[in-house]
Amino acid sequence: MRFSTRMDNLAPYLFAEAERKIAEKRAAGIDVISLGIGDPDIPTPKYIVEEMQRQIADAGNHRYPSNWGHPDYAAAAASFYKRRFGVDIDPKREFMALLGAKEGLAHICFAMLDPGDLALVPDPGYPVYAGGSILAGSDVRYLPLRPETGFLPDLDAVSEEDARRAKVLFIGYPNNPTGAVVEDDFFARVVAFAKKYDIAVIHDNAYSELTYDGYVAPSFLATPGAKDVGVEFFSFSKPFNMTGWRTGFAVGNHEVLEHLWRLKTNMDSGMFDALQKTSAFILDSPWDFVHEMCGVYARRRDLLSEALTSVGMKVPKIKGTIYMWIPVPEGYTSGGFCEHVLEQAAVVITPGRGYGPAGEGFVRLSLTTPDDRIAEAVDRIERSLRI
């Protein structure tokens, strides 16, 4: 058979290989603990499941949905953005339902990028930014995220030539994988940069609701002028433990969303109305569950941080996301350290290199494993490091 050349440059998705290794070890009877993928261990709360059951039973929800999204979902998203971030969203023009943020992030590349174009992609970064851009035929320029600059890209370091050539800039804070948050005027600098070079900004807002120690994450769209240059993707996956449900939305610049809409009308037929109405219900209901989850993750963060610090690892205290981004002990590469931890401790962690070249020297640990398993995992890692 002959396949698309497009596939030649596309590596298997980061976690595909990890899943294979876990399955192999488990089949061999080994008790593997995964601190790999960020997939919440606690089920979707009952009030959401019950609402979905009600919506599924309603035959009015059984036909093709609209690609823009159900008006109830759009209205709920607009009022959430106003209430939570102080951002005005026109539900008719500035909202689009997505089958999860990942779907939107991948597809928007095809709406924005042609072969030979340039995408500015954070390094390390959520793999879909580079993957989607490469699939669309675009070149990728990595913008290194370093601890010295708070894991924010240095826009002044982008060459004039690259800035002029670039069509899109991907960013996302609170940040996966570094756990970094925005605490200064970074978003204003992004808007100025995007306006100067006519670059569309794609802000990935998958983690704004999972923050700790009193930190409240802003929306990129709350920055003056942001809606002129960009869109933002919101996801229900992590705050509401709904990774399997596939619901999210994009808000912001109408022209960008109109292009994404036109593309998607040719690719999918929208999101199940029952799920859209449930998503609206979630946004309109009290958010106690999310606050509880923040408590759970903060506790797990402290547990991991204390134990790993005690064996000499440098563990920064994250203020957002569900990930810890930790420098590997001296003498290891990030891949080598993950291999060591998997082989000696049967614990899965993710090599930083998988998120881009600047991720070398770091590993990512996810907090989506029950406390007792986290305690067991750090115990095993500690022992493996003492060997």
Ligand X SMILES: Cc1ncc(COP(=O)(O)O)c(C=O)c1O
Which chain residues interact with ligand X by CB under 6 A? Answer: 38, 100-102, 126, 172, 176, 204, 206, 235, 237, 243, 248
- State in angstroms the smallest separation of the CB of 3 from ligand X: 25
Residue nearest to ligand X (CB): 100
From the CB of 361, what's the least distance to ligand X, in Å? 21
Q: What is the largest CA-CA distance in the chain?
A: 62
In the bound state with ligand X, the residue whose beta carbon lies nearer, of 163 and 278, is 278
Please, are residues 89 and 77 in contact by the beta-carbon 8 Å criterion? Answer: yes
Task: Specify the DSSP element, H or E, that contains 79.
Answer: helix 71-85
Backbone angles phi, psi at 331, to 5 degrees: 95, -5
What is d(CA 137, CA 6) in angstroms, rounded to the nearest whole number?
8
Is the CB of 248 or the CB of 270 nearer to ligand X?
248
Q: Which is nearer to ligand X, 67 or 178 (CB)?
A: 178
Per the CB < 8 A criterion, the answer to whether 47 and 67 are in contact is no
Which residue, 243 or 384, has its beta carbon nearer to ligand X? Answer: 243
- Residues in the chain, how many? 387
- Rounded to 10°, the helix 334-345/371-386 angle is 100
- Shortest separation between residue 203's beta carbon and ligand X, angstroms: 10
- In whole angstroms, how close is the CB of 104 to ligand X at the nearest point? 8
- End-to-end, the C-alpha distance of the chain in Å comes to 49
In the complex with ligand X, the residue whose CB is nearer, 246 or 340, is 246
Task: Enter the DSSP assignment of 64.
Answer: P
> Residue 174: enclosing H or E segment and its boundaries?
none
The sign of the torsion formed by the CA atoms of 162, 166, 170, 171 equals positive
To the nearest whole angstrom, how small is the minimum distance from the Cβ of residue 236 to ligand X?
Answer: 7
CB of 172 to ligand X, least distance (A): 5
Closest separation in Å from C-beta 102 to ligand X: 3
DSSP per-residue codes, 327-344: EPPTT--HHHHHHHHHHH
Q: Which amino acid makes up residue 327? A: P
For the CB of residue 303, give the shortest distance to ligand X in the complex, in Å. Answer: 22
Of 100 and 132, the one with the shorter C-beta distance to ligand X is 100
Nearer to ligand X, 134 or 206 (CB): 206
- Starting at the edge strand found earlier in the chain, the sheet holding 362-366 runs 323-327, 362-366, 350-351
Q: Can you point out the beta strands (E) in 175-235?
A: 200-205, 230-235
Q: How far is the CB of 156 from ligand X (least distance, A)?
A: 24
Taking the least distance from each CB to ligand X, the nearer of 14 and 307 is: 14
> Taking each helix axis from N to C terminus, what angle separates 254-265 and 101-112, rounded to the nearest 10 degrees?
100
Cβ distance to ligand X smaller for residue 111 or 163: 111
Using alpha carbons, select from 190, 175, 180 the residue that is nearest to residue 126. 175
Q: Between residues 69 and 172, which has the closer beta carbon with respect to ligand X? A: 172
Q: How far is the CB of 39 from ligand X (least distance, A)?
A: 8
Type and span of the H or E element at 61? none
Residue 299, H or E segment:
helix 288-310
CA pair distance 375, 347, nearest whole angstrom? 12
Structure tokens at 299: 């506790």
